[in-house]
Amino acid sequence: MLEIERAEGVYLYDVDGKKYLDLISGISVSNTGHRHPHVVNAIENQLKKYLHLMVYGEYVESPQVQFAKLLAENLPPALNSVYFTNSGAEATEGAMKLAKRVTGRSEIISFHHSYHGSTQGALSVMGDETFRNAFRPLLPMTRLVHYNRESELAFITEETAAVIAEPVQAEAGVIVPDKNYLQAMRKRCHQTGTLLILDECQTGLGRTGTLWCFEQFDVVPDVLLLAKSLGGGMPLGAFIASHEMMQTLSHHPALGHITTFGGHPVSCAAGKAAMEVLFHGNLIQSVELKKKRFAEGLHHPQIRSFHSAGLLMAIEFADEAFNKKVIDGCISRGVIADWFLFAPHCLRMAPPLIISEEEIRHACSVILQAIDAA
């Protein structure tokens, strides 16, 4: 177990001063690197003004307004109302409640090998029985279907309140669906009056080479979930929908969804600054070339396949035991890699988007050495 004392850019430093190249970004969090100066500056400025003031209500905190405005300016017009939460799981919970309220229905459809959080509602739509079973009973009227299997979209009916999907399944080992599959899902939801919730907690904010992953599929969700990198390293999530839909949470009952700390002013200030870094640093435009450099640098007979959506990447090995040896070998050589929750035989790479080509070359050579030694 490493004990990390400080972090800067793409590097972590342990208590003995040993330096590690971070290839996982705290699970898709540190897209702009650790302690980006613009983000740290925004946090310091907010610290001088105020911390928590008020739950959404009598007055609103300025950093929330400013960040929500920046998000809405960079989303399709229908996604114009942002509800900030503390985490991804809480964004999932809010979106599921919103779908019930908007449609008056209860059924929620999700996908095998999906991950949307660990709270009981989010767990109810998680695509893995081993993780769920110990915590039953869970929410009724949930149904799992196979991802990227168009015939199973027929399970979405007039009874379905919402379908919740990742535009690229992250914890499944980076599973990129066919473009026409997500479009068919969108069409089926329109036909049945079902809300399409897309979970971009891992894929959002530039990770896959566009600001939002859904852009690559020409699909616009009814509800968008964000978290992870949204707070630039601070805890922050959001569910985003149309103002009209979001209004349903404000009556019968009033205060239909409440959170004390959701959208903490320091988190919102940090998140807005991180988004500015993404825009001004040409980072999103650099993702595709950097992904290509990883793909070019990773050829080895033990590599079964390489899956990727921009800088969300998976190297598939024969089995979990071999993968664990490679991961340990990488870490002992100063490169942090990891595995995936539902694909333990795949090595996770999701570096900060600021990683340089030289650092990518170094990372690839270390991974190849670790494979040889495994």
List residues near ligand PMP by CB under 6 A.
27, 87-89, 115-117, 166, 170-171, 199, 201-202, 227, 237
CB of 344 to ligand PMP, least distance (A): 15
Query: H/E element holding 368?
Result: helix 357-373
CB of 117 to ligand PMP, least distance (A): 4
Residue nearest to ligand PMP (CB): 88
Which residue number, 82 or 201, has a Cβ lying nearer to ligand PMP? 201
Sheet containing strand 19-22, strands side by side = 4-8, 11-14, 19-22, 335-336
Which residue number, 88 or 271, has a Cβ lying nearer to ligand PMP? 88
CB of 227 to ligand PMP, least distance (A): 4
Which residue number, 34 or 293, has a Cβ lying nearer to ligand PMP? 34
CB of 226 to ligand PMP, least distance (A): 9
> Are 199 and 225 in contact, with CB atoms under 8 Å apart?
yes
Residues in the chain: 374
Which residue number, 228 or 293, has a Cβ lying nearer to ligand PMP? 228
Provide CB contacts within 8 A for 189, sequence distance 6+. 156, 163, 195, 196, 222
- How distant, in Å, are the alpha carbons of 64, 180, 187, 364 from that of 111? 32, 17, 17, 32
CB of 268 to ligand PMP, least distance (A): 16
Which residue number, 119 or 157, has a Cβ lying nearer to ligand PMP? 119
CB of 147 to ligand PMP, least distance (A): 13
CB of 258 to ligand PMP, least distance (A): 18
Provide CB contacts within 8 A for 271, sequence distance 6+. 67, 230, 231, 232, 234, 236
Closest to 203 (Cα-Cα) out of 112, 284, 97: 284
Strands 195-199 and 160-165, bridge-based pairing: parallel
**177: burial class by Cβ within 10 Å (0-12, 13-18, 19+)?**
buried
> Are 227 and 170 in contact, with CB atoms under 8 Å apart?
no
Angle formed at CA 211 by CA 210 and CA 212, multiple of 5 degrees: 90
